[in-house]
Amino acid sequence: MAKQTSKKKPVKGAAPLPSSAPEKHVRPSWDEYFIEIMHAAAKRATCDRGRSGSVIAKDRQVLATGYVGSPPGQPHCDEVGHEMHKVINDDGVISEHCIRTIHAEQNVLMQAAKGGVSVEGATLYCQMTPCYVCAKLIVAAGIKRVVSFRDYQRGEKSKALFAKAGVQYDLVHSDTERY
Ligand SMILES: [Zn+2]
Ligand SMILES: [Zn+2]
């Protein structure tokens, strides 16, 4: 994600900086900035099977934040345990998922809806490639770019949908999040 920054030409006749000068502060890129906020939101998550966060931003401004959690006022996994659900995947493998919580990507969309904020044309930042349900909601909400911090081992359908729907999908780290 490192961006190539163009170095400014030194001003003619300017004295060189003494070697003891403190290193110049490097500002994070906009993607890095929103990902940091996404990680901060994730700390509020209430299910230890995946403490994810999500941020929706447009025109360099945060529109909404969200994290994995039960519907407001409902008991949390951290207090009452998970609500497990078995799923038979396309490859025949049975996997178990906790369905007590709303995914971070759904919660960030709901927060925008609750406040009447349009997310059309915005970018959604998330911990890992969204699941297929979240991917469909993201497309329906008019999100135009998705930035995932890590990949998800069952994220192929979501990526295919993004490609078909014209949603730009960017992956920060190529390693896969096991979930
Ligand atoms: Zn849970
Ligand atoms: Zn999801």
Ligand nearest to the CA of 146: 2
| Phi and psi, residue 152, nearest 5° | -125, 135
Q: Is 102 helix (H, G, I), strand (E, B) or coil?
A: strand
Rounded distance between C-alpha atoms, residue 27 and residue 50, angstroms: 29
**39 CA from centroid of ligand 1 (Å):** 19
**98 CA from centroid of ligand 1 (Å):** 5
Please write the tens of the pLDDT for every residue from 6-50. 555 556 666 666 666 778 999 999 999 999 999 999 999 999 998
Rounded distance between C-alpha atoms, residue 69 and residue 41, angstroms: 11
**25 CA from centroid of ligand 1 (Å):** 40
Rounded distance between C-alpha atoms, residue 72 and residue 169, angstroms: 30
**112 CA from centroid of ligand 2 (Å):** 17
Ligand nearest to the CA of 129: 2
pTM, two decimals, is 0.83
Copy the structure tokens of residue 109: 């969309």
Copy the structure tokens of residue 69: 């959690």
Angle among Cα 111, 116, 119 to the nearest 5 degrees reads: 70
161, 146 Cβ separation under 8 angstroms? no
- pLDDT tens digits in sequence order for the chain, 179 residues long: 444 555 555 566 666 666 667 789 999 999 999 999 999 999 999 999 989 999 999 999 999 999 999 999 999 999 999 999 999 988 899 989 999 999 999 999 999 999 999 999 999 999 999 999 999 999 999 999 999 999 988 899 999 999 999 999 999 998 776 55
Rounded distance between C-alpha atoms, residue 88 and residue 158, angstroms: 17
Residue type, 143: I
Ligand nearest to the CA of 69: 1
**179 CA from centroid of ligand 1 (Å):** 12
The catalytic residues are 105
